[in-house]
A and B are shown apart, each in its own frame.
Chain A
Amino acid sequence: MKGAWTSTWVLLLIILTSGCRMDVLDSAGGVAEEQSHLIVFSLAVMMIVLVTVFILFAKFIWTYREHSKADRSDHTLRNDNKKLEITWTILPVIVLGVLAVPMLMQTYDLETKADRDAFRVNVTGHQYWWQFDYPDQNIRTSQELHLPANEDVVIELKSSDVIHSFWIPQLGGKKDAIPGETNELYLETGDPGVYDGKCAELCGAAHTDMRFQVVVEEEEDFEAWSEAVGQDITPEKTEPEEEGAVDEGERVFQENCLACHAVDGADKDNDRGPNLALYGEQEKISGMMANNKENVKAWLRDPESFKPSTEMPAYDNLTEEEMDALVDYLHSIKGNKVEEGRD
C-alpha cells in the first residue's frame, strides 16, 4: 500500500518537474513577486500540516493493521482525550494566524497603493479582445499592451458586454472587468520584457482566445512608441479612391476593414473592432500566433476558426492579389511608416 503511494508520487514528480514552467512564480514585477512569496510561504506552512498528517496516517495504519502485534492496551478503550483534542484545535488556529498576518498586510497594501498617483491605463474588455486607452498620452491601442518599465501602474477595468477578467500572471493577480462597473487593478512593472495576458473569466465561445501581449519597455522606448501610435494615419472614411490612385492594400482596407478598425491610436471613434495601430510591429496576432503573412491571410479568410463566434466576418471573397496587398498594407503600419508619413 505504501509502496504504491510512493511510486505514484515519485512518478508524478518526475513528470511534473520535467520542463516545468510556472509563470505565476516567475514574477516580473513587484506585485507578482509579493504574491509569489505569499504563495510559497503558505505552501511551506501547509506542507508542515500535510507532512504531520501523512506521518500519523502512515504510522497508525501500519501499526494497527488487524494482525499486527502492536500493544493496544493504552488506546483500545479510549475514545476521547481532552488534551489531544485541545491541541489540534489550538494549533491550527495558530497556524492560520501565522498565515493571516502577511495575507492581511498584502491585501490592504494592494488596496492603498491603487489609490496612489501612478501610470494609468484604461482597459475595456470586449468579446473577444482588449482595448487599451492611455489617458495621459491620449492614445488607444488594442491587443498589445505597452507599459513603461519599473513603474507603478493602475489599470482601470471596464467591459462593454459580459464579465471578463484581466490577468497577466507574471505581473500579478487578476481583476474582473464587469459591465456597468469600474474596477482598479494595481500592478508594478519590472525590467523590460514580453509577457502573456489572458482573460480568466468565461466570456463566451472564444474565451480561450481572448489573449493579449504585454510589452514592458524602457521609458524612452515607451515614449517613442506612444508618439508613433498617436500619429494620425488612418485613411479617410470616404469612398475608396480609384484603383491605382492609392496603394492597392490601402484601398482594400478602406473598402473592407475601415468600418470597424482604425490603424492609429489617435482615432477613437472607430471602436467596433480592435485598433490596429502599429500592427506591423506586433509580434503576435491577438496574442496567439506569429504575425506573419500566412497567418494573417488565414485569419482574414476564416476568423471563426481562430476565434469562434467572433464578430469579424470572413473575407474569403477577396482575390489572392487583394489579400496580398491588404496584408502588405497591414504589415506596413509601423513606426517607420509613421515617420515617412510625417514628411
Chain B
Amino acid sequence: MVREPVRIKWIWPVLVVIILLGVPWYLPQGTIEPVIMGFPYWAFISFLMTAILSLFLGYVINRCWDMETLLDNSSGKDKGGERK
C-alpha cells in the first residue's frame, strides 16, 4: 500500500491540537510565574509543544509517507500515465 500523509486522516486533527496547545490563547492573560529555565511558564509550554510538533512531524515523515519505491516497483515511472 502506498502511504501518503494527506490520506491518513488522523494525522491532521492531532496536528491541529498540538499547534493550538502551543499558542497561549487559553491561558490567563498577563500571568508570568512560574519562570522555568528562564522561560515564563506559558512560553515554556510553547517550547515543549514545539518540540512535540517536531517529533510528531518526524514520525509522520518516517511512518506515514512511502510512495516512490512502491510506485517504481509496481510498473515503472514511464508507463505511469496509463495506470488508473
Query: Do A and B truly interact?
Result: no
